[in-house]
Amino acid sequence: MKKYFAACLLMLATLNAAYAGTISRWNLPDGKMFTLIYQDKQHIRIELGEGHQVLINGAKSHLVTRQGSQRIAMDLANMGGALEAFGGLMMQNAQQRMDQFKGSKVQFKKTDRIERIGGYRGEVYQVNLISSKGNETHEVVVSKHPDILALQAVFLELGKRASEIVPNNQGLGTMNYFSRQAQSVGIGGVLRYGSDLSLREVEKKKLVSGAFQLPQGVTLITLPVFPSMMTR
């Protein structure tokens, strides 16, 4: 009887884990925001508002957007240009912002300041970027809380996929490099980077079935029509 009861508990735990997810919401400049939802590094969804989504389900990656009243999707593995536009949706001038890190030496200097962001206690670091174009100083708030470290792993996976899909994109490649630099020195995951990115909240909940699959009614296309679709 005890073995049967233990087996039932194990099955329940497995079912709970299968549908358990984390929802994080992030503030961007000009009052914009995006939502990052994940179950693990192979199941990720990014909500950008106005019907724009990025879905990662195992080896498949899709961008979902709108063309007029129709919802359409593109396979990111076959359309590097779509991923370029996705970066622009997240933050205006993202390419220029990321380009400044290319070829820079990154140094982190801990301050004595503490900030609480999105419900998490974080330490404030100065980030010194040393390059041939000169030196720049930015500010980053980091945390070693398991929730934030898990988010960092998801962001690194996104960066890895971006560099594989668009290997010649300097902005996406540098984003991946900078994230790995922060990880390599062991300062934790990012809660805030300057005024460009700040965690609003983290919520853990069960996700609906099919959360990382293409929504019903979405048309999968292969034609390179993405630039016109983004004009509103």
Average pLDDT, the chain: 76
* pTM for the model: 0.73
Residue pLDDT, tens place only, 3-20: 555 544 444 444 444 468
Q: Are 75 and 83 in contact (CB under 8 A)?
A: no
CA distances from 172 to 95, 140, 159, 231 (A): 8, 19, 7, 22
CATH architecture of the domain 2-229 equals Clam (2.50)
Q: Are 31 and 156 in contact (CB under 8 A)?
A: no
The token duo for 5 is: 């009861």
Residue pLDDT, tens place only, 99-127: 566 667 888 999 999 999 999 999 999 98
